[in-house]
Amino acid sequence: EAQVTQNPRYLITVTGKKLTVTCSQNMNHEYMSWYRQDPGLGLRQIYYSMNVEVTDKGDVPEGYKVSRKEKRNFPLILESPSPNQTSLYFCASSLSGHLTDTQYFGPGTRLTVL
Amino acid sequence: AQSVTQPDIHITVSEGASLELRCNYSYGATPYLFWYVQSPGQGLQLLLKYFSGDTLVQGIKGFEAEFKRSQSSFNLRKPSVHWSDAAEYFCAVGAVADTGGFKTIFGAGTRLFVKA
């Protein structure tokens, strides 16, 4: 089944404790992206990757890191999480990243930073 | 700057009634427009998209949307709502990022409640 998976689905952590949220897709897509969803703000893009070893900042990249060493994986790293990073995070992928491509979203990761 | 506005935070509709969700966008060039639905606890699913051609676009689950350039709008409609349509709906516009890649800008969402 074609899908985007994220782990963990739920995470509670404390300020400053490094964490990684994994994202994997099995559709051989070139483009992958991370979003955060906050009430009243919709989804905002954090980082995106057009292909392996190619990543770029989205609209809200501060406090996040990403890497794209393999085509299927695009982990989101929070080196020193803070409470304002409490949010619902979505990973997405599309074939090439062109505007006409359909994005496929993962089920989301709900992160709470205490 | 590109932006998407969904004026209604939430809407309540009776089952069987018609639905229209509003979306206005701001984008200088020809817009690439999308509607997504998010069911509780789920990721986003694409309902429909518009790039060019016929301004009335048909999507999945009986939804349609109409692009009106003069009004910068892309409203989503459904003639008869089912209880399973209760969800949050996001309008989005595709844009070229400053870095040369592509990005999607989402509206804040409209939560649809369906009453029996």
- The tens digit of pLDDT for each residue in A8-54 reads 999 999 999 999 999 999 999 999 999 999 988 999 999 999 999 99
User: How many C-beta atoms surround the C-beta of residue B63 within 10 A?
Assistant: 20
Q: Which of B6, B101, B106 sits opposite A43 (nearest CB)?
A: B106
**Cβ-based neighbours of B51, under 8 Å, separated by 6 or more:** A99, A100, B30, B32, B33
Residue B37 pLDDT class (50, 70, 90 cuts): very high
- The tens digit of pLDDT for each residue in A73-92 reads 999 999 999 999 999 999 99
The answer, for B103 touching chain A at a CB cutoff of 8 Å, is yes
Q: Are A56 and B97 inside 8 Å of each other by CB? A: yes
